[in-house]
Amino acid sequence: MKEELMERENGGEDHLLPLFLDLSQRLVVIFGGGGVGTRKAELFSRYGPVKVCSLNFSEGLLKLAERSGDRVETVRCDLSSGFSQHLQGAFLAVPATSDIKLNQAIEGECRGRGILVNRVDRRGEVVVPSIIRRGRVSIAISTEIPALSRYLRLRLEEEFSSSISEMARLLSAIRQESKAMVPSQEDRAAILRRILEDREVWRLLDLSYEKAYIRARSHIRPDERDSLDAGDPPQGLDR
For the chain (239 residues), the mean pLDDT of every run of 10, in chain order, is 44 73 96 97 96 97 93 96 96 96 96 95 85 82 83 80 84 91 90 94 91 92 51 37
φ, ψ (nearest 5 deg) of residue 101: -65, -35
| pLDDT for the residue 13 | 57
| pLDDT for the residue 14 | 66
The domain locations on the chain are 26-128, 163-229
| pLDDT for the residue 141 | 86
| pLDDT for the residue 5 | 39
| pLDDT for the residue 56 | 96
| pLDDT for the residue 180 | 85
| pLDDT for the residue 157 | 78
pTM of the complete model beyond 0.85: no
| pLDDT for the residue 228 | 44
Collect all residues with Cβ–Cβ distance below 8 Å to 103 and sequence separation of at least 6. 31, 95, 96, 97, 119, 120, 121
Angle between helices 185-197 and 163-179 (to 10 degrees): 150
CATH class of 26-128: alpha beta
Q: CA 2, 145, 114: angle at the middle one, nearest 5?
A: 80
| pLDDT for the residue 171 | 94
